[in-house]
Amino acid sequence: MKDSHQKIVSRAVMEIKDGMNVNLGIGIPTLVANEIPADFNVLLQSENGLLGIGPYPVEGEEDPDLINAGKETVTAVPGASFFDSAESFAMIRGGHIDLAILGGMEVSEQGDLANWMIPGKMVKGMGGAMDLVNGAKRVIVIMEHVNKFGESKIKRECSLPLTGKKVVHRLITELAVFDFTPNGMVLIETQENVTVSDVKEKTEAEFTVAPELLAAQ
C-alpha cells in the first residue's frame, strides 16, 4: 500500500463504529476492510449482493465466485448472506446502510462529489455510487489530495460529471480531514507533520479552519 493510501485508510477506519452496516466503494475504500478491528461487529455490504465481506483472501485461497463491486476477490465472514442486486439496492435506498466510504475524483467546497466518470474515457457504468450518496446515512469520501499532475482535487466547483450535489459529510485525504456544514467547508484535522498552510497551498476550494485546530497550531 502506498504511504499516502495508508494514511488515508488508517484515518478512515476510525469512522467505523461497532455494530455498523458499511459499504466500501471501489479503489482505496476497499483497503479499509483489512483495518477494521477484529473485535468489531461490522457488516460490510457490496452492492453486487454480499452482506458480510471479510478481509482480502490469502494468496492461493481466492474464490473466484466471491467478489466485491470492484471485481476483486474477497472473503465472507461467518453468517454472511448473498442476494441479488435488487435486494442490495433496496437496502441502500431504504436507508439501511449506516456509512458509505467512497473514493472521489473531485469534491467541491459545497460537498458535491464527482467519482463515476471522466468524459471521453470508457466506463462500465455508474455503479451504485449515486444510490449510496443519497441512501446511506453518512457519506465519507477518501481520496488523494491532488491528482497526478499536482492539481487540487478539492475544487470550488467540480469540473467532472457529478455523482451527487451536497452529499459529502466528511472528506479524508493524506493531508487533512474536512467536514461540510451549512456554513461551508471546515478543516477539522491535519495529518501528522502537516500544517494548515500546507493544506491551503494544495487546496483550490475555500474553507475555514476549526477553532480548536487553529489553537493547536
In tens, the pLDDT along 196-217 reads 999 999 999 999 999 999 877 7
- Residue 173: all three cell numbers together: 485525504
* Spatial contact of 15 and 24, defined as CB atoms under 8 Å apart: no
Catalytic-role residue among 15, 47, 106, 174: 47
Q: Quick count: other Cβ atoms within 10 Å of Cβ 153?
A: 23
Q: How far apart, in Å, are the Cα atoms of 117 and each of 51, 120, 126, 163?
A: 26, 9, 7, 9
> What's the pLDDT tens digit per position in 28-84?
999 999 899 989 999 999 999 999 998 889 999 999 999 988 889 999 999 999 999
Active site residue 47: yes
The CATH class of the 3-172 domain is alpha beta
Q: How far is CA 36 from the centre of its chain?
A: 14
In which residue are the cell numbers 467536514 written?
179
What ranges do the domains of the chain cover? 3-172
